């Protein structure tokens, strides 16, 4: 087992790869750490893969995976995690904005201070205000909603205990919320370290304004799956009960008013239609909950839980 596995997703980064690899090698040799570098080419259309192939003959521990097309950063990270075998797994971007010199301290914090994850915090950034201000707002909202108190949730430079990456799945655009995913999987010892943000030297950013649209939707998905994935009826059933009960109360009031006071025709009052709508929505939510339970019960993952430790049992075969 290596001391470090460095997982680097890339897309059209041919200019930076040679310099980045040499920088990593120099930093790891100075720290006397054994390591591997796993490049995941996410369907690059330039010469990135040719550069990666040439690096394996010039530098120690360079490995590569190439996608047939562009799947996104989450898919690249998830695939890299499958093959990582280092005691600590480091993720970093290929654009040289993350410094490999931070890796030894990140590793120390994981091993010596007992963190499951240590996330980098680019406290001083070299980005325009159009990027830094939305990022601060995004980090604040994410921290409040998820309970994971990080100042820079989306920093690409992170350190993970190997056990963490072996027990989480990253898909869609969920790479922004790996600490949240890990927390829901039971890995809640999450720390943060201020790291240096390097100004971009080559190329341009691959992420646009769409991340501020899709990001909150992904967060809601993670929150829902993490909390109600194994018990969807608890959410939909509760909401269905509230809606149906509200509609039933309205219908009951209108019925009593019609019989006792005989003031109005029920169907002439807008409140009547609101009550009917509430009961219909309540029934639909109940049905959604039942369907969710049926799907959940047929899933192979329903009774799969993260076991931290045990004794007297062969846990590996179960």
Kindly report, residue by residue over 234-272, the tens digit of the pLDDT: 888 889 999 999 999 998 888 888 777 766 677 777 888
User: Any residues with CB less than 8 A from the CB of 83 and at least 6 apart, and which?
Assistant: 38, 63, 65
Whether the full predicted model's pTM is greater than 0.95, yes or no, is no
Which residue bears the tokens 């993350």? 98
pLDDT digits (tens, 9 = 90+) for 75-120: 999 999 999 999 999 999 998 889 999 999 999 999 999 999 999 9
Name the average pLDDT for the chain: 84
CA atoms within 13 A on the CB side of 82: 10
Q: What is the pLDDT along the chain (318 residues), one digit of tens a residue?
A: 889 999 999 999 999 999 999 999 999 999 999 999 999 999 999 999 999 999 988 898 899 999 989 988 989 999 999 999 999 999 999 988 899 999 999 999 999 999 999 999 988 776 666 666 777 777 787 788 778 888 888 888 999 999 999 998 888 778 888 998 898 888 989 999 999 887 777 666 655 556 666 667 777 776 777 677 667 888 888 899 999 999 999 988 888 887 777 666 777 778 888 999 999 999 999 898 888 877 766 666 554 545 555 544 555 555
Q: What CA–CA distance (Å, rounded) separates 100 from 208?
A: 25
How many other C-beta atoms are found inside a 10 Å radius of the C-beta of residue 102? 20
11 phi and psi angles, rounded to 5 deg: -150, 110
At 91 the pLDDT is 96
Q: What CA–CA distance (Å, rounded) separates 27 from 19?
A: 12
Q: What CA–CA distance (Å, rounded) separates 279 from 284?
A: 9
Query: Is 112 in contact with 213 (CB distance < 8 Å)?
Result: no
β-partners of residue 83 are none
**Region at 63 (left for phi over 0; alpha for psi -120 to 50; beta for the rest):** beta
Query: Is 112 in contact with 161 (CB distance < 8 Å)?
Result: no
Q: What CA–CA distance (Å, rounded) separates 117 from 305?
A: 20
Which is nearest to 232 in space by CA: 281, 302, 293, 287?
293
**Region at 187 (left for phi over 0; alpha for psi -120 to 50; beta for the rest):** beta
Q: What CA–CA distance (Å, rounded) separates 167 from 116?
A: 12
Which is nearest to 46 in space by CA: 209, 203, 210?
203
The secondary structure element, H or E, covering residue 216 is helix 211-228
Q: Is the dihedral of CA 148, 42, 102, 121 positive or negative?
A: negative
């Amino acid at each position: 087992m290596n001391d470090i596995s460095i997982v680097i997703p890339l897309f059209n980064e041919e200019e930076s790869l040679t310099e980045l690899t040499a920088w990593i090698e120099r930093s790891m040799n100075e720290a006397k750490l054994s390591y591997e570098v796993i490049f995941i080419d996410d369907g690059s259309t330039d010469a990135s893969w040719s550069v990666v192939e040439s690096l394996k003959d010039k530098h120690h521990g360079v490995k590569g995976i190439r996608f047939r097309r562009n799947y996104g950063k989450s898919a690249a990270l998830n695939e890299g995690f499958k093959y990582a075998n280092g005691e600590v797994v480091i993720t970093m971007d290929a654009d040289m904005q993350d410094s490999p010199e931070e890796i030894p301290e990140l590793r120390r914090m994981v091993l010596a201070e007992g963190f499951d994850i240590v996330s980098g915090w680019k406290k001083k950034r070299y980005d325009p205000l159009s990027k830094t201000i939305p990022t601060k707002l995004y980090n604040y909202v994410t921290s409040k909603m998820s309970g994971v108190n990080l100042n820079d949730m989306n920093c690409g430079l992170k350190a993970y205990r190997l056990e963490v990456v072996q027990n989480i799945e990253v898909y869609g655009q969920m790479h922004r919320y790996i600490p949240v995913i890990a927390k829901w999987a039971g890995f809640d010892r999450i720390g943060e370290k201020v790291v240096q943000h390097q100004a971009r030297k080559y190329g341009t950013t691959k992420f646009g304004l769409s991340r501020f649209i899709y990001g909150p939707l992904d967060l809601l998905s993670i929150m829902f799956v993490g909390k109600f994935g194994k018990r969807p009826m608890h959410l939909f059933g509760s909401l269905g009960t509230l809606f149906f009960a509200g509609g039933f109360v309205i219908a009951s009031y209108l019925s009593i008013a019609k019989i006792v006071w005989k003031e109005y025709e029920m169907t002439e009052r807008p409140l009547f239609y609101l009550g009917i709508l509430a009961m219909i929505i309540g029934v639909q939510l109940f049905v959604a909950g039942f369907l969710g339970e049926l799907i959940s019960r047929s899933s192979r993952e329903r009774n799969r839980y993260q076991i931290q430790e045990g004794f007297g049992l062969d846990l590996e075969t179960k």
